[in-house]
Amino acid sequence: MNEIERIHEEAQKILDQKKQEVTPTELSILLQSQYFNIEEMFTFASNYKEENIDNHILIAERIQKLCNSYSNNLKLFPSLLSWENRKYQNERVVSIQGEINKSLELLNAVKRNNEVGSLGTMMELNEVMRKHNIK
C-alpha cells in the first residue's frame, strides 16, 4: 500500500467515526486525502476525451466543489501546525482552482454559443477567449 492509499484509508476511518469535531492530526489527514482526490480528478479531467460538453462541465464543477471544500477545511486547520508538503499542496489546489474556474467560464460560454448561436453569445465567447489568452 502506497502513501496515498494509506492516507485515503485513514481518512475513511476518521469519516466512518462520524465525529462532530476532529483533532488537528485527523484534519491534516482529511485535507491530504482531499488534496489527492483533487489531483486525481484534475488529471482525469485533463485526459477526458468525451465530446459532450455537459460532461466536461459536470467534471469541472465537481473539481471546483472539491477545491472549495478543501479551502474551507483548511481555514479550520491551526496555522501553527503543518504536515509534509502542506505549502506545495495548498499552492497546487489554488492553481487547480484557478484553472478550473477558467475552464468553466470557457465551457459555459461555448455551451451558450452552441445552444443560442447569436452574435451576443459569439461576442461573449470571444471575450472569454481574449480574457484567458486563448487563440
Q: Which residue has the higher pLDDT, 122 or 101?
A: 101
What's the rounded Cα separation, in Å, for the pair 116 and 42? 29
Helix axes 24-47, 3-16, angle to 10 degrees: 120
Q: Which residue has the higher pLDDT, 107 or 129?
A: 107
How far apart, in Å, are the Cα atoms of 97 and each of 36, 91, 117? 14, 10, 29
Give domain limits for the chain.
3-131
Residue 42: how many CB atoms within 10 A of its CB?
Answer: 22
Half-sphere exposure of 11 (CA within 13 A, CB side): 17
On the question of pLDDT at 10 being above 90, the answer is yes
pLDDT single digits (tens) 94-117: 999 999 999 999 999 888 888 887
> pTM of the predicted model, to two decimals?
0.86
pLDDT at res. 2: 92
Of 9-18, 48-57, 87-96, 117-126, the poorest mean pLDDT is in 117-126
